[in-house]
Structure 1
């Protein structure tokens, strides 16, 4: 979802570079701002967004595109390499019955990540579900239920039960 949105918005920005062999600071700033907008709207951590932005900005302004490479292709390569550095190489997820438990600090994106993973698995033909067991945080049940509805996956939980194991 986030990468689809990022790809769509970047395509429009990068199309403006068509035919250019060098980049101006304004070109780079426009690209960086578009990346920031897309990632922040997808709930990516602000510090990670700023780290990625700085890396892309520095490389795009300092590196010369290799001979025969357009500015557009060069920027695209930089964005790809920096994102891979940030998130790591891709990992194959088995498309089979499995249970994935997310644990972490409040506000670290577990509910959003659960919905995104459930959506991805459903698009691959599986029938995922989200089970909400956070009995401590106010609004956790409602947030998870809404995210599951948006991802169009089954949702389970009990807002009146304060025992996660029982749920």
Structure 2
């Protein structure tokens, strides 16, 4: 079973959307209308991919549409997350995650990984929340993308990931 999410992240917070679907990652527009990353590199969409990411600027150019796919190997895989890091290690980066709640709903979560691998939630998501302005990444810069998936805690927050992957090359989503 697989799950996929659509996240709209803004250059400066303007919109947020989370959507869950049981369908596989749509790779038909990769290379033409959106850029895509598959992990492992040679995996086939809907087959053996552990993670797939696509990104493209919104039509108005003021935000970035990021689609995350994480293979759900077990019911304990309750979230897929992406961190925007200046290195390949966890710590000091903003994180966007899509969570499958116990009642099966998709929920968008923003948090910040502090030093010492402590994930701090930024509270309920409100697209006009100015608290997020200082924590969302500037998507015009290049980042190492840190991907993770795993369970959630009883309080709904991210638990320690059971699977992770760091892209070893810097990625610029604005290009």
Shorter-chain TM-score category?
under 0.3
Which structure features the higher share of strand residues? 2
Which structure features the higher share of helix residues? 1
TM-score scaled by structure 1?
Answer: 0.22
